[in-house]
Amino acid sequence: MKKFTILLVPIIFVLTTITSCSSGSEENEMTPSYVGQYFYYRNVAKVNGTVTTDENHENNSCSSKSNYTIKSDNSVISETYSSSNFGGPCNSVYTANYTYDTTSQTIDGQKVSFEANNLILSQINTFGTTTTENIFYYKRK
């Protein structure tokens, strides 16, 4: 009986450890890694592949409040902040609800990609022989 008890204790410990580890990883597997809130910090504009504008908004207290929140059901809330005049109060001026389409990798028609902790939205338009691309960068905080 003593040998049986000595063998049973390590087996119970191992089973308890496996159970607690597996339940934690199942939760992580069920929540996509891209779920979170992302804040606007940069905009790059290109015309025919040439960068024409590269603006950093990270230190702009008003623009940098604009954000996208992606939830685990792929619903998306977009909130845009602006001030009515330079240096004026910063207010939420627009809120919209979208769906992140994981098949086409788009949100509201904008191409979506994720790099490190960044959400990158890209809009491409062609008018005749001119192609413009606007790339918006959002950082998870």
More confidently predicted of 89 and 12: 89
More confidently predicted of 114 and 7: 114
What is the average per-residue pLDDT within 21-43?
75
Closest C-alpha to 134, from 91, 126, 63: 126
Where would I find the H helices in the chain? Answer: 2-30
Examine the pLDDT at 44 and tell me if it is beyond 70: yes
Least confident of 34-43, 78-87, 118-127, 131-140: 78-87
Per residue in 78-90, pLDDT (tens digit) is: 999 988 777 678 8
User: Please, which residues have CB within 8 angstroms of residue 65's CB and are 6 or more apart in sequence?
Assistant: 39, 40, 79, 81, 90, 92
Asked if 39 and 67 count as a contact pair (C-beta separation under 8 A), the reply is yes
Q: Is the dihedral of CA 18, 19, 21, 22 positive or negative?
A: positive
Examine the pLDDT at 14 and tell me if it is beyond 90: no
What is the average per-residue pLDDT within 31-36?
92
Identity of residue 18: I
Give me the residue label for tokens 């954000």: 67
What is the average per-residue pLDDT within 67-95?
90
Asked if 13 and 19 count as a contact pair (C-beta separation under 8 A), the reply is no
Amino acid 40: pLDDT: 95
First to last CA, the chain: 56
Q: Which fold has domain 33-140?
A: Lipocalin (2.40.128)
pLDDT averaged over every residue in the chain: 83
Q: Where are the domains of the chain?
A: 1-30, 33-140
Least confident of 11-20, 58-67, 85-94, 100-109: 11-20
Highest mean pLDDT among 7-21, 46-60, 75-89: 46-60
